Amino acid sequence: MRALIVSVDFGEPEFQAQTDEFIMLAKGAGAQIVDTIIARRARPDAALFVGSGKVEEIGLAAEAGQAEIILFNHNLTPAQQRNLERALKIRVVDRVALILDIFALRAHSHEGKLQVELAQLQHLATRLTRMWSHLERQRGGIGMRGPGESQLEMDRRMIGDKVRYLRERLDKLERQRQTQRRSRARGGALSVSLVGYTNAGKSTLFNALTRADVYAADQLFATLDTTTRRIWIEGAGSVVVSDTVGFIRELPHTLIAAFKATLEETVHADLLLHVVDASSPQRDEQIAEVDKVLEEIGAADIPRILVYNKIDRSSHEAGVERDEHGTISRVFVSAIERTGLDALRGAIVEAGQADPVVPGNNSSDPRFRTLSSSVGPTADARS
């Protein structure tokens, strides 16, 4: 599908990187980019997000490029989206809807598809008024009541019924996951979850550690379905490793809520391996975004180790970095070249030995703590 991208600069220092990331998202959804329109504003316009003059420019560019859809690198209100579509006479999709579309495209498991459908319905429920032209009659008044209002209420009721059904199905799957976790805990297995920004290389690292064959690709949100494998690490014994969905800037809240069951693997882990793309110029901002989501899902206090991946693309060398207390804070690896994996296994062993209590207690032992809050160009002696 031929798409025109619109990105508005509100004076953020990482604007270009955010725009490039959105273009990757659009291509990942199968869009053929015909043009990118850049606007600069101090704040969004309440009615159109961009000014009326810029809307006219967008319309001309869309016509010249024969665009079939316009993608906004921002979250639009229902009113802004509706006003833009009326002015441009073309479908407008915002950042949230695009991410939801990619999730729908990439979800393969039954649970993943249910979660994406739930998120899509919750997002759609806020924008029902734009789905039907006859709903303009819902404003009320003489001659303005009747079918439109009835149709809107019918749509809302149908969506509400479907949302309740999906939540019941997901609650059942969540109970099954809890049973599996209790079984693993009784077996004394250390639970380790891989978390990180999307495209940081979590699935490639998961495959390297577990000798699994999980789909991994150089694209955003290649993995949506949690995969778990049990491995044996000398010194730590049986370890259960889980590969989870990647995070991204402004991850839609509807997705976080819908993927609650999947993210439970993160919340109930004994140790988090926070995988970072060592070659990314935005790695510090990406670390902050992941920390933000971890806090939102209740996983902020779980012990974690920063794993700097893709060192084959950066100046880092394989190995371990410790803080002033002698605790491992960062491990440098290349999952694709399988270098530094022994150091990572050693870090997992050391973390497991730091808290010999039953796995699953999410202890906040200070020896587990990461330096993620202080990681930056000045803290990175290897950069």
pLDDT at 106: 72
What CATH number belongs to 2-93? Answer: 3.40.50.11060
Q: Is the pLDDT of residue 218 over 70?
A: no
More confident residue, 56 or 297: 56
b/e per residue 234-269 (b: at least 16 CB within 10 A):
eebeebbbbbbbbbbbebbebbbbbbbbbbbbbebb
pLDDT at 364: 40
Domain 189-374 in CATH: superfamily?
Answer: P-loop containing nucleotide triphosphate hydrolases (3.40.50.300)
Which residues belong to the annotated binding site for Mg(2+)?
203, 223
Q: Is 37 helix (H, G, I), strand (E, B) or coil?
A: strand
Mean pLDDT of 327-345: 94
Q: Is the pLDDT of residue 149 over 60?
A: no
Cα separation, 54 vs 16, in Å, equals: 19
How far CA 77 is from CA of 22, 44, 45, 187, in Å, comes to 18, 11, 11, 49
Strands 237-243 and 227-233: antiparallel
Mean pLDDT of 136-154: 49
Q: Is the pLDDT of residue 144 over 70?
A: no
Cβ contact 154:241 at 8 Å: no
Mean pLDDT of 365-376: 36
Computed over every residue of the chain, the mean pLDDT equals 80
pLDDT at 382: 37
Tell me the percentage of the chain whose pLDDT exceeds 90: 41
Residue ranges per structural domain of the chain: 2-93, 189-374
Q: pTM for the complete prediction?
A: 0.73
More confident residue, 116 or 379: 116
Q: Is the pLDDT of residue 311 over 80?
A: yes
What is the per-residue pLDDT across 253-291, written as a single tens digit (0 to 9) for each?
A: 767 766 665 676 677 889 999 999 999 988 999 999 999
Q: How many CB atoms lie within 10 A of CB 175?
A: 11
Same CATH topology for 2-93 and 189-374: the answer is yes
Which residues belong to the annotated binding site?
196-203, 221-225, 243-246, 309-312
Which residues belong to the annotated binding site for GTP?
196-203, 221-225, 243-246, 309-312
pLDDT at 46: 95
